[in-house]
């Protein structure tokens, strides 16, 4: 039977390479610019949507699209995605930070040069027939001090370019070590106030959560300083910029982003000592192509069930030797088995054992929760919203990191450790502990577990019933405490067991408990 291909809606220009990458894997409906009022009508039919900056993914829109699994922003920010609503709905949010770093850094210097050399107003002067060279004497960058707030991907590129201009570069970023800042060609300062006092040119390159500069901060800049914002609108008080330029404290300012876009303050827009562009920092042919290709690949991987590095509301740690898709599937399978065989309780214990990096524990716990909650709650549940859904269900999680032995995951409800389920992670995943027994069972498509009296003929009678129903046994493992006592049997089946067959199995006189679990086959690097 053919599997239906996921559908992806692209609301703005993505580029030929990005669309080509998408169409190789999914069905695509793409627009150069979809009218905003058309999005609510189209969205419910799609599994994923890719937006840029013209559209906002609000809670109301997300509520209209129950089959939506992925919302992707082809760009660095996610200000136009309601992350809280997406997470609650189990929708994976993606973006492409850094894909346009070079473009944004170059645009920063394009604005700075236009500002200090009066490019905009001298251009207008020449077009009007003027030639007053004395009126447009500029300022050189060589020897000037440049202050960078935030030295991440874009800030690093700004520092690199500044070095070529012979500028003395300082950076304030509490999240970056001094040696890292030094390696990027800048000197780290410990406080924002210290940076402001040093900066003859100030530029900011942080997320929306970065420092917000009001008049109180901007007044600390040296007299005659220049201020730039090619990051996020609202990080710098535009009224304060205007006032300080009018008063002569600042020599000028350049803005690519605004608190409200497009800006409408006539006094601000009329100033000759300011340069403006329409949110063009990352808008180059090369950057847009790179962003389109990268976000397309991330969406395809997300629709396969993987967690790409572009994920925003479910970041997966970059750990060598760990296959994210495989680990998530194993965790989910573990949860399904625990829910079927491991009892219940308000506290779930998850153990990462035998050298699994500590960083993978939180995401693995989310996957285990997903498998458990699928059996006990209504509505969509996946690793994105598993923690929220668990809280709603009154379930807490305790994560344990344990050394020794091969890499493996285990889960159980508190107080029932003897019923824990353990699965090895490396190579081909195998069930090692289950319902109080020890096994060496490769993860099957369907798992049937029986607890029965250890008497002759039980295995044969179970096999006969399965055979009569046309179900093939792929693997079989047995465990027991003592001869004639209680025995456990774990069977890997090619097909699921229906309720009629389960009833027949339960009627066997030796049968005490029986469990059945559907499992997605997990291979190394598998796709869900």
Closest CA to 522 of 444, 448, 441: 444
pLDDT band at 207 (very low <50, low <70, confident <90, very high): confident
> How far is residue 209's CA from residue 381's CA, in Å, rounded to a whole number?
29
Spell out the long-range contacts of 257-261 with Cβ–Cβ below 8 A and sequence spacing 24 or more: 257/229, 257/230, 257/231, 257/232, 257/233, 257/281, 258/233, 258/234, 259/233, 259/234, 260/233, 261/233
Q: Establish if 340 belongs to a structural domain.
A: yes
Are 95 and 106 members of one domain?
Answer: no
Number of domains in the chain: 3
Are 177 and 223 members of one domain?
Answer: yes
Are 95 and 121 members of one domain?
Answer: no
Q: Are 277 and 251 in contact (CB under 8 A)?
A: no
CATH number at residue 256: 3.40.50.720
The chain-wide mean pLDDT, for the chain, equals 90
Dump pLDDT digits (tens) for 370-405: 998 888 787 778 889 888 888 888 888 888 888 888
User: Torsion angle, CA of 202/208/211/216, rounded to 10 degrees?
Assistant: 80
Q: Establish if 315 belongs to a structural domain.
A: no
Residue 318: predicted pLDDT = 64
Are 380 and 393 members of one domain?
Answer: yes
pLDDT at 100 over 50: yes
Are 494 and 362 members of one domain?
Answer: yes
Q: CA-based angle 175:181:185, to the nearest 5?
A: 155
Are 356 and 471 members of one domain?
Answer: yes
pLDDT at 179 over 70: yes
The better pLDDT of the pair 380, 296 is held by 296
> How far is residue 297's CA from residue 291's CA, in Å, rounded to a whole number?
10
Q: Establish if 308 belongs to a structural domain.
A: no
Q: Establish if 361 belongs to a structural domain.
A: yes
> How far is residue 476's CA from residue 448's CA, in Å, rounded to a whole number?
10
Q: What are the distances in angstroms from CA 483 to CA 437, 456, 486?
A: 15, 10, 8
| Mean predicted confidence (pLDDT) in 240-262 | 97
CATH number at residue 407: 3.30.70.260
Q: Are 307 and 87 in contact (CB under 8 A)?
A: no
| Mean predicted confidence (pLDDT) in 275-282 | 94
Are 57 and 198 members of one domain?
Answer: no
Active site (catalytic) residues: 232, 261, 279
Are 189 and 267 members of one domain?
Answer: yes
Q: Establish if 137 belongs to a structural domain.
A: yes
Are 299 and 220 members of one domain?
Answer: no
**Containing structural domain, residue 130:** 101-276
Strands laid side by side in the 408-413 sheet: 396-402, 347-353, 408-413, 421-424, 430-434, 437-442
pLDDT band at 445 (very low <50, low <70, confident <90, very high): confident
Q: Which sign does the torsion angle of CA 139, 144, 150, 154 carry?
A: positive
| Mean predicted confidence (pLDDT) in 316-333 | 74
> How far is residue 207's CA from residue 154's CA, in Å, rounded to a whole number?
11
> Across 216-294, where does the E strand assignment appear?
225-229, 250-255, 274-276
Are 328 and 187 members of one domain?
Answer: no
Q: Establish if 58 belongs to a structural domain.
A: yes
Dump pLDDT digits (tens) for 144-174: 999 999 998 899 999 999 999 999 999 999 9
pLDDT band at 528 (very low <50, low <70, confident <90, very high): very low
């Amino acid at each position: 039977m053919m599997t239906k291909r996921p559908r992806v809606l692209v609301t703005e220009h993505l580029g030929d390479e990005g669309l080509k990458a998408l169409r190789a894997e999914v069905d695509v409906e793409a627009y150069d610019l979809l009218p905003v009022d058309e999005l609510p009508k189209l969205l419910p039919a799609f599994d994923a949507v890719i937006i840029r900056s013209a559209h906002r993914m609000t809670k109301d829109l997300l509520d209209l699209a129950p089959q939506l699994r992925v919302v992707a922003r082809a760009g660095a920010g996610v200000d136009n995605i309601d992350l809280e609503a997406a997470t609650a709905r189990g929708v994976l949010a993606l973006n492409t930070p850094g894909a346009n770093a070079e473009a944004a850094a170059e645009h920063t210097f394009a604005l700075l040069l236009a500002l200090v050399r009066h490019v905009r107003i001298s251009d207008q002067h020449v077009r009007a027939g003027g030639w007053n060279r004395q009126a447009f004497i500029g300022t050189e960058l060589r020897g000037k001090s440049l202050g960078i707030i935030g030295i991440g991907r874009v800030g690093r590129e700004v520092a690199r370019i500044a070095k070529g201009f012979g500028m003395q570069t300082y950076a304030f970023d509490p999240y970056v070590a001094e040696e890292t800042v030094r390696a990027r060609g800048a000197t780290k300062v410990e406080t924002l106030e210290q940076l402001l006092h040093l900066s003859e040119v100030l530029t900011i390159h942080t997320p929306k959560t970065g420092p917000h500069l009001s008049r109180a901060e901007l007044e600390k800049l040296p007299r005659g300083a220049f201020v730039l914002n090619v990051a996020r609108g609202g990080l710098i008080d535009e009224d304060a910029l205007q006032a300080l330029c009018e008063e002569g404290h600042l020599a000028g300012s350049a803005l690519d982003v605004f608190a409200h876009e497009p800006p409408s303050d006539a006094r601000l827009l009329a100033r000759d000592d300011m340069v403006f562009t329409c949110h063009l920092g990352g808008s180059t042919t090369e950057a847009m192509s790179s962003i389109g290709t990268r976000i397309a690949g991330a969406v395809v991987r997300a629709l396969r069930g993987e967690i790409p590095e572009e994920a925003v509301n479910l970041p997966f740690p970059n750990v060598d030797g760990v296959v994210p898709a495989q680990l998530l599937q194993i965790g989910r399978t573990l949860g399904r088995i625990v829910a079927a065989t491991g009892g219940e309780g308000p506290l779930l214990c998850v153990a990462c054992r035998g050298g699994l990096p500590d960083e993978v524990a939180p995401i693995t716990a989310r996957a285990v929760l997903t498998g458990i909650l699928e059996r006990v709650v209504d509505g969509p549940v996946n690793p994105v919203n598993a923690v929220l859904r668990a809280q709603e269900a009154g379930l807490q999680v305790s994560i344990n990191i344990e050394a020794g032995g091969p890499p493996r995951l285990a889960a159980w409800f508190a107080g029932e450790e003897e019923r824990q389920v353990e699965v090895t992670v490396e190579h081909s995943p195998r069930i090692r502990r289950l319902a109080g027994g020890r096994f060496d069972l490769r993860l099957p498509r369907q798992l049937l577990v029986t607890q029965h009296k250890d008497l002759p003929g039980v295995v044969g009678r179970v096999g006969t019933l399965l055979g009569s129903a046309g179900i093939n046994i792929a693997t079989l493992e047995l465990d027991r405490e003592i001869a004639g006592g209680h025995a456990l049997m774990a069977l890997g089946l090619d097909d699921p067991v229906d309720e009629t067959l389960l009833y027949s199995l339960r009627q066997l006189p030796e049968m005490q408990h029986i469990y059945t679990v559907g499992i997605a086959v997990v291979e190394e690097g598998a796709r869900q």
